[in-house]
Amino acid sequence: MNFEWMFRHHIGRRIDKWRHYFDIYDRHFDRFRGKRVRVLEIGVDHGGSLQLWKHYFGPDAEIVGLDVDPRCAAYAEAQIEVRIGNQSDWSLLKSLGVFDVVIDDGSHRLQDQLASFEALWPSTRGAYLIEDCHESVPVLDAPLQYVYPWVVVVERPQRLIRGKDSRELRPDEVQAEVYRCL
């Protein structure tokens, strides 16, 4: 089941997504499905996309939503936590912890997108997607950037390792080993 199929068969809270984003989600998020992942979605709206991400990523996924509207706290449920606050609040973002996937569908203002990226990217292990770049495409200091109409995706490089160790691993190799295991 791809994202579009799940979207079309979703029963639950309202979801508002651009159709041309669906293939982008599958292309960049499919490798995380069915794994123990932590996902942050900035911008909760009616809470439906949180439910869809929970279904898309699977029963071992932890979904965190962040929104400025205190009414969104009511959308918390099993596997879904909702935090209330501003996406440009550096200390709040840092307090959220480490994520495998970040989806910025928040204010859609360039300055907020940049602030969130700067705070969250260092602790993002996999993919960071910024939706609705209508104002302009943010210039990001990160490798592996993909630019689509209204969407920017940044990914961590995936280093693949095979074979047995012949010596003790250096710290950078230990870090690569951590990313390989995701």
C-alpha to C-alpha distance for 52 and 56, rounded to whole angstroms: 6
Of the options 3.20.20.10, 3.40.190.10, 3.50.30.10, 3.40.50.150, the CATH number for the domain spanning 3-180:
3.40.50.150
- Domain residue ranges in the chain: 3-180
Give every strand in the sheet of 80-84, ordered side by side: 80-84, 62-67, 38-42, 99-104, 124-130, 151-155, 145-148
Q: For the segment 115-149, what is each residue's pLDDT rounded down to a tens digit? A: 999 999 999 999 999 998 777 777 777 777 788 88
Instruction: Check residues 88 and 146 and name the one with the higher pLDDT.
Output: 88
Q: How much is the pLDDT for 62?
A: 98
Q: What pLDDT is recorded for position 25?
A: 96
| 134 vs 112: CA distance, rounded Å | 13
91-101: average pLDDT = 97
* Residue 46 is among the residues annotated as catalytic for this protein: no
| Among 60, 63, 120, residue whose Cα is nearest residue 88 | 120
Annotated catalytic residue, options 10, 46, 55, 108: 108
pTM value?
0.84
Summarize pLDDT for 10-44 with one digit per residue, the tens: 999 999 888 889 999 999 999 999 999 999 999 99
Kindly tell me if the per-residue pLDDT of 98 is higher than 90.
yes
What confidence tens digit (pLDDT) does each residue in 154-182 have? 887 766 667 777 788 788 777 655 544 44
Segment 37-83, tens digit of pLDDT: 999 999 999 999 999 999 999 999 999 999 999 999 999 999 999 99
How many angstroms separate the CA atoms of 33 and 26, rounded?
A: 10
